[in-house]
Structure 1
Amino acid sequence: MVIAGLVYTHDWEFETSDTSLTWKQPTISTRQPWISPENYDVQFERIERSLGEVQFTSKNQIVLNTETAGALERAIGYMSKQSNKDQLERIEFLLDKIFPSRHHNNLPEIALNYRDYLIAQEVLDKGTILKTLDDSEQALKAQIALKEQYLGKEITELLFKDKHAMAFYIINRRKIITDSTLTPEQKENKLSELQNTIQVNN
C-alpha cells in the first residue's frame, strides 16, 4: 500500500512521493482556432460592413464620389489577392444579396473590377521608377488610364476626380516652386492661379 503525500504548489502542480500520481494543470492555448473569421482569406462580414457605408439615391442608384471610392478600397482590403474563382463568385453572390441588381445598381461589379485594378496597379508600380516630377506626372496619367480600363471612364471620373485633381495640383505646385527660370513674383502669381484652379474644381 502506498501512502501519497500531496503538496499544492503555486504552479498548479501536485507533487507526490509516488511519481505515477503526479498531475499538472493542462495548458490552455489562447491561439485563435483556424476556423476563426480572423483567419479567413475573404472576410465577408467586414466587406459587407465597409460597403454598407456606400450611399444611394432615392432611386437606389449608387452615389459615385470620393466617399464611395474610400468604402470600396476598405472593402477590397478584406479580399485576398489570391482569392480563387469560387471565393470571388461567393463575394459577388453576397454583394448581389446585399445590394440587389434588380434595383439597377452595379456595386458588385464595380467592387470586383476595382479589386482587379488594384492588383494590376501594384504590378505596374513595381516596374515604375520615379526620378523627376515629369516621371510622377506620367505615372499618375498611367494610373488613371488603368482605372479607366477596369472601371470605365465615367465611373473613374466620378469616383476619383477630386483625388486626381489634388494629385495633379501637388505635382504642378512643385514644378512651379522648383522652376529656376521664374522670379519670386512670377512663382507667386502662378501658385495663386493654381490655387484658384483647385478651388474651382472643388
Structure 2
Amino acid sequence: MTEYTPWIILLILVALTALLDKKIKHSVNRTLVGFALVAIGPTLLFGATPWITALQLDSLPVLTFLVGIGLLITRNKYHPQRPPPHPLRRAPTMNLAPHFPEDPVMQQLLQLLHEEIGLPKHKTIRLKTSLNFDLGCDGAEARQFMEALEQTFDLDLGDYDAYRYFNPPVFDVFLKHRAKGRGEKMPLTIGMLYLAIKTHSWDTQTLENLS
C-alpha cells in the first residue's frame, strides 16, 4: 500500500457516509441505523484493532460512531415533525356539531385538514363528515393528505386501501387501471381519522364499524 492509501480509504468512507445519509430517509430507519453504528464504533475500536490497523482503517471506528450520532441528531431531517398547533391556531371554521371532540388531537387534526384540504365555513363539521363525499377530497390531494396524516401523527396505516375511498390521480393511468373493479367508494370520515390517530393504527373494518 502507498502512503496515500489511508487518505483514499478515508475519502471512500466519507463518500459512503454521504450515500448512507441520502438513502435512509425514514426517521425510524435513521434512528435504528444510528444506534447500531454508535454501538459498532466502540466495538470495532476495542475488539478488532489488529485487522483495522493492518488494513489502515484506523479512522473507521471513530467515523462509524460519528455517523451514528449524526443519523440520530438528524433523524427527522427528511420528514420533520410538525409542531402541535397553538390552541388559537384552530381551523377558521368554528361551526362544529354539538359534542364534537375538542381535545388537542382533534384540534391538530382539524388544523391539518384545513391546511391540506380546506374546511368549509358554511357546513357543520361532524364526526361523520367524509373527506371524499362532503369535503370533495380525491386523487392526488387525497394521497398528499394521507401522507401528511401518517407523518404528523406517526400513524401506522395498516390495511388502508386508498382505492376504497378515493379515485387515483387523473394523470396516473397505471393506478387508474389498478383501481378498476373496486366498486362504489366508501365514505372516509373525520371520525375514522380521529379513531385511527387515537389507536395509532388503521384497521379498516374496526374504523368503519365504530364510525
Structure with the larger helix share: 1
TM-score by length of 1: 0.24
